């Protein structure tokens, strides 16, 4: 049973971090393939980002629950799961911030700029705000990835300090 629960924890982290690692690759390929039509590429990447965020939120809740229950089941020592749990909470918060604050604001800016941000005047306030939010979104995703890698290290450390 302990092996199954640790496996589920690792799987939740693998799914989330794997998606975080490969998302930029998929986005780059999409934009290179659809280079003349960046609006369509952006729409596709936006939908993929929504899927990525949902995967992250679900994986995060599963990982958090498993980490919270692990000491009770004798999988890890209580003090060893506190730091990974805190990092997972930060990852969930970053994902929720991106999905429910940044992405809707970018969508509002895109619509206000005429529907296609690539055809809008780059000096337009909506375009400027969209680009600022896009950079912020990238930084949030990078932070989530780094927090995830730190979580993996801390879970590996907890594994070596197991009961």
Write out 90-141 in H/E/C secondary structure. Answer: HHHHHHHHHHHHHHHHHHHHHHHCCCCHHHCCCCCHHHHHHHHHHHHHHHHH
Alpha helices in 34-77 (DSSP H): 38-69
Looking at residue 39, what is its pLDDT? Answer: 76
Closest CA to 159 of 5, 28, 16: 5
- What pLDDT does residue 99 have? 96
Amino acid 162: pLDDT: 58
What is residue 45's predicted lDDT score, i.e. its pLDDT?
A: 83
Residue numbers in the chain where pLDDT is lower than 50:
163
Q: What is the pLDDT of residue 83?
A: 96
Report d(CA 26, CA 78) in Å as an integer: 38
pLDDT of residue 110: 81
pLDDT at 119: 64
């Amino acid at each position: 049973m302990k092996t199954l629960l640790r496996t589920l924890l690792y799987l939740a982290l693998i799914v989330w971090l794997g998606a975080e690692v490969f998302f930029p690759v998929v986005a780059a390929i999409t934009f290179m393939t659809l280079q003349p039509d960046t609006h369509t590429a952006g729409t596709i990447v936006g939908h993929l980002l929504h899927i990525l965020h949902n995967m992250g939120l679900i994986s995060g809740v599963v990982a958090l629950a498993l980490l919270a229950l692990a000491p009770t089941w004798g999988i890890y020592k209580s003090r060893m799961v506190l730091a990974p749990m805190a990092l997972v909470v930060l990852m969930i918060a970053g994902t929720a911030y991106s999905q429910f604050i940044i992405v809707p604001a970018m969508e509002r800016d895109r619509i206000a700029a005429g529907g296609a941000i690539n055809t809008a005047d780059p000096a337009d306030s909506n375009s400027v705000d969209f680009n600022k939010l896009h950079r912020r979104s990238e930084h949030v995703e990078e932070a989530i990835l780094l927090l995830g890698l730190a979580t993996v290290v801390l879970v590996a450390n907890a594994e070596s300090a197991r009961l």
